[in-house]
Amino acid sequence: MTWFTLAIIAYTLLALVNVIDKALLSHFIKDSRVYAFLVGAFGLLAIVLAPFGFKVLPWPLLGLALIAGVWMLLALHWFFRALSIGEVSRVIPVIGGGVPIFTTILAAVVLGDRFNAWQLAAIFLLTAGGVVLVYIPKEHHWWSDLVYRFHHRKRYHHLTLAVGSAFAFALSFVLSKFLFDHSSFVAGFIWVRVGTFLAALAFLTIPKVRTHIHETFTHFMSIRGAAFTGNQLLGALAIVLQSYAISLGNVAFVQAMQGIQFAAVFLLALVATIFVPKLMREYLTHRVVLEKSAALLLIIAGTAILALL
């Protein structure tokens, strides 16, 4: 299976995870640090891949893997922190547009990747389409409900946090690509997740976070909690496929294809709004439909260019 196909499957699965999260819309996690900790904990499940090629890496590569894991944790924490103190309509477009841009730059600097005009055009179309799709009408889009479960009254520097998060995501992905190229996918993937988990342990030194983690786990002991956990496992599978796509292909191209995830989320939410309005209702006007349709065309064009290259 090619990196292109794997990326499409991964981002489609991530879109499904986003929509199921909305349908479940648990209020289990109210602290971005708790979310980051749980992501780190779930990341250790990567050890199930050990029989397929796990090994102890040489010290330079091992250190690089742990650093990539730390940057991933910082990216997640800054992302949800930005959402908790800033406007979602400002934060998500910065993240969605910033990650592929930073990834393209870092791939050129760190990995020595070079891009021709058609490749840059594809990255631009996919990024632009993704940004338009995640431009959320203020106080109307259901995503605002989803992300504001991390709501916090204090608002400051949310755009700085968003840019920092986009850079951290990009750097983690690029470092991971370097690891995949110089070791193996399984070994690199597992050690990066170990780095994320070790960094997440630092949150346990904060009493308030420990209390919130305990409260969160009490909510997990329910049917909705089990459904939420299962959905996160589906998300973990999507991340494995995304990472494997990065190991096989160009990291900048794979990240630019995130627009497919935004497109799939919109389409799934639209279908749910029509057929199951009690479960999910998407804010739709003629203007919104035209904007989203234009964004879909940009993403289709960018994807087509990559498919033909």
Tens digits of residue pLDDT in 6-37: 999 999 998 888 777 666 544 556 677 887 88
pLDDT tens by residue, 249-303? 999 999 998 888 878 877 777 777 777 666 555 556 677 778 778 888 888 898 8
- Higher-scoring residue by pLDDT: 238, 232: 238
The whole-number average pLDDT for the span 124-144 is 69
Handedness of CA 278, 136, 11, 169 (dihedral sign): negative
pLDDT tens by residue, 25-80? 445 566 778 878 887 888 888 898 999 888 999 999 999 999 999 999 999 888 87
153 pLDDT band, cuts 50/70/90, is: very low
Note whether residue 235 is domain-resident.
Answer: yes
Lowest mean pLDDT among 7-21, 112-126, 196-210: 7-21
CA distance 148 to 150: 5
Note whether residue 44 is domain-resident.
Answer: yes
Note whether residue 287 is domain-resident.
Answer: no
Q: How far is CA 298 from the centre of its chain?
A: 21
Note whether residue 83 is domain-resident.
Answer: yes
Note whether residue 43 is domain-resident.
Answer: yes
Structure tokens at 217: 């786990």
3-state secondary structure (DSSP) of residue 10: helix
Structure tokens at 35: 């979310």
Handedness of CA 50, 248, 35, 12 (dihedral sign): negative
Note whether residue 236 is domain-resident.
Answer: yes
pTM: 0.83
User: What is the number of domains present in the chain?
Assistant: 1
Q: How many CB atoms lie within 10 A of CB 60?
A: 9
The pLDDT of residue 264: 82
Note whether residue 72 is domain-resident.
Answer: yes
Domain containing 23: what range?
3-122+142-251
CA distances from 211 to 8, 33, 195, 220, 228 (A): 39, 12, 24, 15, 20
Note whether residue 203 is domain-resident.
Answer: yes
CA distance 116 to 123: 11
